[in-house]
Structure formats: C-alpha cells, structure tokens
Amino acid sequence: MLQPFVATPYVDAVLMLSDGTYFLGKGIGKKGTTEGEICFNTGITGYQETLTDPSYFGQIVVFTFPHIGNVGTNSEDNESDKIHCRGIVLRNTITTPSNFRSQLSFDHWLSNQKLVGISGVDTRQLTHHIRIHGPQWAIIVYAQAGECLSLEDVHRSIADKKIELTGDLAQYVTASSPYSWPKKSIQAGSGPAYKLVVIDYGVKHTILNLLAEEGFDITVMPSTVSFSDIMALSPDGVFLSNGPGDPSETGKTAVPVIQHLLDNTIPIFGICLGHQLLALAMGLSTEKMHAGHRGANQPVQEIATGNVFITSQNHGFCVSPKHIPSTVQITYRSLFDQSIEGFCVTNKPAFSVQFHPESSPGPHDTRFLFAAFKTMISTAKKVYA
C-alpha cells in the first residue's frame, strides 16, 4: 500500500513507474501531469538538442548528469521546431544559465514549451532501475501546495499500461507537407548539387544542415510519401531519417516504398530509424532493446578497418542479428553490446547506421558519412548508369 503524500515546499511532484516504483521531487517547467515511456540519456552536454530531437517523441527522458540547464537555451541549437519528448527528470534544480549564447533560461524555455518535468530525483537510482527492469510506462504528477496526492491512485492510473504508444509514431512528428531545405553556399569544385529526397520520420535539423553542406539540393517529404511522389522529383538519392518508435510499425507503410527505391537502385542512406527501416526492407527484423542506447559516448567499430568511433546514439530498438541475408554486409558494431550499428547492401547503393553521425549533441567522429553518401551517389551513377 503506497502512502499518500502531501505537497510541501520540498516535494510537490511525483514520478511513478508502472511497476510502482516512485520518486518524489519538485516540479519544473510546466506544472502539470504527463505520461510517457521512461528512458535515460547519459550525455553531459546538449540537453536542448536532445529535447528537440523528434526521436524522443512520447518519452520521459531521465538525464543522468545532475546539472542540466547550466547554459540556458538559444534559438540556434534546436533540432526541430519544438520539444518532442513528454517529460524530463533531473537530479538538481535548474540553475541560472551562464553562456554567451544563452537567450532564455532552461526553466523558462520548458514552461514556454509546456514540458512537464521533475527535479530532485535520485536519477542514478532510477537509471539503475531502468537498466535492470527495462523500459516501462511512467507518469509525472504535480500537486498544488498542501494538496494530498494518493500515490495508490497515481499508480493505478498507469499500472496496466504497458507501453501505450504503439503504432507508427513517425506520423506525429513528420512534416505535414513537402518542403525544401535552404541550400548552403558551397565551395566551387565540390561536385554536383545532387537532388536529395529526405523522408522525414522525425528528422533533425543538423542532419539536414550537414546534407546541405555536402551540396545536396534537399526536399523533405512526409513519412507516408509514396514511391511515385518521390520519383516525381527524380532524386539522385534518398535519405531515410531518424525518428521515434517501433520500426516495424512505421515500416508498414515505409518498407514497401524503400523496397521500391532499392529495386530502382536509388542510392539510400539511413540513420537510426531510417537504418532500421532499411534493414526491414532488406528482410532483416528489428527488436526492442532492454534499456536502449542513449548517450554521446557510445563506441562503434567499423568492421572493415577495426577503427573505433565515438558516437551519439538514441534508440530503443535495434536490428536483430538473426537471418542476415547475403546481400547485407554489417559495417559497424557497438562495442558496448556487439549490436548491429550499420550495414550496407552489397548489390545496391545503400547503407545505413544506427548511430547518429550528425551528432548534435555528441562527437563529430562519424560526420564523414555524409560525404561518403555523396561519394556513393557519384559512384552509383557510374556503376549503375
């Protein structure tokens, strides 16, 4: 039997997990109630980028680093036009920001963005818990001063919810209609400006910027775009973006399109969800991970060279190592758990990675993949012409 709790100046919010584990704390951001799937992120910098990453749609993010908000927020570091996660959990209260680029304090920004959060939580204990018990549904409830909250009721409200958010989540974060991404003025002699279609399952701005820096002429299209709509633009390549949720759900509409693109030898590059979708299109399967990979310190090894790169990652599903077709060659593996971090298609110009080469937040070690994509297109033009 859970004791009721009365809001005091010390605790006025509770984070409840569906298994009944709860943490009292103080509300931050918007004072309200929120539900989502709980996950932890071990990155130290880049909270603004993380929260605006559409891949976090539907999730309550636990930051393992205790001081979040130190550098405030600014208009340059957003990865999309708004916050997509459902809530945040912090160890310490948000401090007055200090950074030459800061425009708005983190707390204000959260309120403006209407994100509900809780601070004062033993995020380390919570992280342990998630690592051991895996992903689950969670709720943050805020109580007015003096209000008495029945934790029993709070628990009951989510106890039966497994992971509520099922189905194709990309539909909630994708562009409503096609748009083109501003071109970057690039140096002369850096090759042709290939036409690129980006299928937006929840794409991050930095991905688009880095593609633009490679000189691509970019059209971003909604996740449900059809093969013919893509081909109508006669693209030189197609990029499959990152995004939230279960790839097999999004794949229901996306995979046939991707298979069609493969059949037509359209060069493809996929990141994260895009990678998982490409895998599904190649006949591999995906599976839910126990705790997921979320952080900016994740080592992956390039199998061909043995080189190790530190990557930014953010995924709760991964490509299953079972039944790998002969036309798929695994290119990267996680050195944390040996899971598949990238592959290429041997008979088609297509490759993808599970990690986020665009980083933001995170190390830039693998940004060369954007140039590699461009090279692949040039080569494909010669090989498959």
Partner 1 sequence: MPKRTDIHTILLIGAGPIIIGQACEFDYSGTQACTVLKNEGYRVVLVNSNPATIMTDPTLADCTYIEPITAEFLEKIIQKERPDALLPTVGGQTALNVAMALYTSGCLARYGVEMIGATPAAIEKAENRQKFNEAMKRIGLDVPNHAIVRSLDEAKRALSLIGLPAVVRPSFTLGGSGGGIAETEADFMRIVANGLDLSPTQEVLIDESIVGWKEYEMEVVRDKKDNVVIICSIENVDPMGIHTGDSMTVAPALTLTDKEYQVMRNASIAVLREIGVDTGGSNVQFAVNPATGRLIVIEMNPRVSRSSALASKATGYPIAKIAAKLAVGYTLDEILNDITRITPASFEPTIDYIVTKIPRFTFEKFPLSDSVLSTQMKSVGEAMSIGRSFAESLQKGFRSIEKGFSGLSQVLIEGTDPHQSYEANKPAIQKALKRPSHIRMLEIAQAMRMGCPVEDICEWTHFDPWMLEQMALILHVEKSLTENGIPRTKEAMWDVKKMGFSDARIAELAHTTEETIRHIRFELGIHPVFKKVDTCSAEFACETAYLYSTYEGNPYQVSACEAFPTNRNKVIILGGGPNRIGQGIEFDYACVHAAFSLKEEGIETIMINCNPETVSTDYDTSDKLYFEPLTAEDVIEVVLKEQENGSLLGVIVQFGGQTPLKLVKALQSAHIPILGTSPDKLDLAEDRERFKALLDRLQLTQPQNDICHRVSDLDATIQRLGYPVVIRPSNVLGGQAMAILLKASDLDRYILANRDILLDGPILVDKFLENATEIDVDALCDGTDVFVAGIMEHIEEAGVHSGDSACTLPTISLTPAQLQEVTHTTEMLAKEMGVVGLMNVQYAFQDNKLFIIEVNPRASRTVPFVAKATGNSIAKVAAKVMIGKKIRDFSFNKPRPTHYCVKEVVFPFGRFDNTDILLGPEMKSTGEVMGIDTTFEMAFYKAQESAGNPIPKKGCILVTVHDKDKPRILESVRCLASLGFAIAATKGTAQFLQKNGIEAVSVNKEKEGGDHLVDKILLREYQLVVNTSLGEDTAESFSLRRVALLNRIPYVTTARAFYAVVNAISKLNQDPEQMTTMPLQDWINRV
Give catalytic residue positions.
272, 356, 358
Q: Which of 1, 10, 148, 385 binds partner 1 (CB under 8 A)?
A: 10
Contact 244, 80 (CB under 8 A): no
- Specify the stretch interacting with partner 1 by CB under 8 A; choose among 104-112, 172-180, 270-278, 302-310: 302-310
2 binds partner 1 (CB under 8 A): no
* Short-list 268, 19, 243, CA closest to 136: 19
In the 3-class helix/strand/coil scheme, how is 26-85 assigned residue by residue?
EEEEECCCEEEEEEEECCCCCHHHHHCCHHHCCEEEEECCCCCCCCCECCCCCCCCCCCC
Chain positions 215 to 274 lying near partner 1, rule: CB under 8 A, are: none
User: Binding mask 37-76 vs partner 1 (x if CB under 8 A, - otherwise)?
Assistant: ---x-xxxxx-xx--------------xxxx--xx--x-x
Pick the closer one to partner 1 by CB: 11 or 163. 11
Instruction: Tell whether residue 135 is a contact of partner 1 (CB under 8 A).
Output: no
Phi (first) and psi of residue 44, to 5 degrees: -95, -40
DSSP 224: T
Q: How far is the CB of 1 from partner 1 (least distance, A)?
A: 16
CB of 200 to partner 1, least distance (A): 23
How far is residue 219's CA from residue 233's CA, in Å, rounded to a whole number?
A: 9
| 132: exposed, middle or buried (Cβ count in 10 Å: 0-12, 13-18, 19+) | exposed
* 361 makes contact with partner 1 (CB under 8 A): yes
Closer residue to partner 1, CB minimum distance, 92 or 378: 92
> Are β-strands 195-200 and 286-302 bridged in parallel, bridged antiparallel, or unpaired?
unpaired
The two structure tokens encoding residue 12: 């006025």
290 binds partner 1 (CB under 8 A): no
The answer to whether 23 contacts partner 1 (rule: CB under 8 A) is yes
Contact call for residue 362 and partner 1 (CB under 8 A): yes
Q: Is 133 in the site for partner 1 (CB under 8 A)?
A: no
CA distance 245 to 287: 11
**Footprint of partner 1 on this chain (CB under 8 A)?**
5, 8-11, 23-25, 40, 42-46, 48-49, 64-67, 70-71, 74, 76-77, 91-92, 95-101, 120-125, 127-128, 131, 291, 295-299, 301, 306-310, 335-336, 359-364
